[in-house]
């Protein structure tokens, strides 16, 4: 490619108003602005991300223990037919069992995402946000359990 042809291509691109891209550079004003223009303000520590992920994943163990205690506490209920309060307790138990199980699952998935983000530190913000949205959609909170009420 001749130099003149290169200059012509650059001029055409500039005429289209294309945006410039700067990689691995800081603004010419090292002081930056109030929106964080200075790159020395952005610091990310892989160990901190990984530790946060491990800690969140570790919450899953405590949630699992709570679920075991919930199961143990419910073991003597027996047949709920004919007893409205026992049926209501069983309905509440089932709701909480699902909810607590989902909390443990959410901790595991969120912790894993944080750990992966820390190990890699190369995920785009949009990719992390998409993963968080998937977790949010998967673990919607359960509907509240309401005892049926009689009309007065």
Q: What does each of the 152 residues of the chain score in pLDDT, given as a tens digit? A: 567 777 777 777 777 765 555 556 555 555 444 444 445 565 667 788 888 889 999 998 888 888 888 888 777 767 777 778 778 888 888 888 888 888 899 999 999 888 888 777 767 778 888 888 998 888 876 555 554 554 54
pLDDT of residue 20: 59
| In-domain check, residue 51 | yes
Classify residue 131: in a domain, yes or no: yes
Asked, for residue 28, whether it belongs to a domain, the answer is no
Q: Rounded to whole angstroms, how far apart are CA atoms 53 and 44? A: 14
User: How many other C-beta atoms can be found within 10 angstroms of the C-beta atom of residue 76?
Assistant: 6
Q: 107: helix, coil or strand?
A: helix
Residue 84 placed within a domain: yes
In a domain, 119, yes or no: yes
Please tell me the total count of domains within the chain. Answer: 1
Q: Which two tokens stand for residue 38?
A: 């200075």
Q: How far apart are CA 94 and CA 82, in angstroms?
A: 18
Query: 94: domain range?
Result: 45-138
* 8 falls within a domain: no
Q: For residue 73, count other CB atoms closer than 10 A to its CB.
A: 10
The pLDDT value recorded for residue 1 is 55
| Residue 87 counted as domain residue | yes
What is the enclosing helix (H) or strand (E) of 8? helix 3-15
Residue 29 lies inside a defined structural domain of this protein? no
């Amino acid at each position: 490619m001749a130099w003149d042809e290169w200059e012509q291509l650059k001029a055409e691109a500039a005429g289209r108003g294309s945006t410039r891209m700067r990689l691995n550079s800081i603004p010419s004003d090292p002081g930056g602005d109030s929106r964080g223009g200075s790159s020395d303000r952005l610091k990310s520590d892989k160990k901190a991300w990984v530790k946060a992920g491990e800690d969140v994943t570790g919450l899953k163990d405590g949630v699992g223990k709570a679920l075991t205690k919930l199961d143990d506490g419910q073991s003597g209920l027996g047949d709920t037919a004919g007893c409205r309060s026992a049926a209501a307790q069983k309905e509440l138990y089932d709701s909480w069992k699902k909810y607590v199980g989902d909390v443990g699952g959410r901790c595991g998935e969120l912790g894993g995402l944080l750990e992966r983000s820390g190990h890699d530190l190369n995920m785009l913000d949009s990719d992390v946000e998409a993963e968080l949205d998937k977790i949010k959609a998967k673990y919607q909170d359960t509907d509240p359990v309401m005892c049926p009420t009689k009309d007065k």
